[in-house]
Structure 1
């Protein structure tokens, strides 16, 4: 039963990640700001695959969680980082803030991470049957948010930021 649920979590995770590709597939990316090198040094990443054409990394973290980070920079700048946590649902509520910060530390620049950690520091995240979305207040980005969704026995964490 657990293997079937894990399979569906992976399928859903793949769909969520691939759905963001349509908006950025015609972008020309530059390795000036993002490259595989910044991820290759991370002890938090167990295994990964780097997609140079789309500046995207997908893989498994050292703690076993699946993750993906997509960067784009055409006329706009943005990142979308997603992580799947589970199926140990009983421990996730007490670790939710730490899990979000863990993903942020991997995916975000120092400035972006500071904004994220300040937001979580002001008010902790909590799980809910409905997806929760917390905006990160900043004048620098048009959109910057954290979204947490329970799917079966897993939790999907998304951090997304965008500026024109």
Structure 2
């Protein structure tokens, strides 16, 4: 009962209104008394584990990023040869830093190694496009925590053949004779 009285008193409740309340007398009511110090220590012990907790991550219900892509290839693309197209989702900054610097030729040579080095941080989707082929809207699902989205095209000619998609949710990839173009929608 005395502990309940002390708690109610500390909360500013009027003792007369509490059925179990007694009037406090003696050194317990003095500032800095042993009772107040022990209560403060108990509160500190109770709150200390809560202060060490991290905030819970917000669940990813609908991730942001590229969700829909159209691919248009011209008949003269890559001198009439098929072109491999990779859509690459990257969720970690170190992986994004490594992939964003690669030319398409280097990316396709290192593709398997990148997946081994960053198994949780890199997701890819590949299409093999014939010259003159049109791929109607292809739905893709981006991962949560996206740090970068890239498109790579395996042209025979030298060049970067890499596009950073940015924050676009949809777009069209056009495969030209020796270059690629990205048009966000």
Q: TM-score, normalised by structure 1?
A: 0.28
- Greater relative contact order, per chain length (Cα 8 Å cut-off, separation 6+): 2
- Compare the two structures and name the one with the higher strand fraction: 1
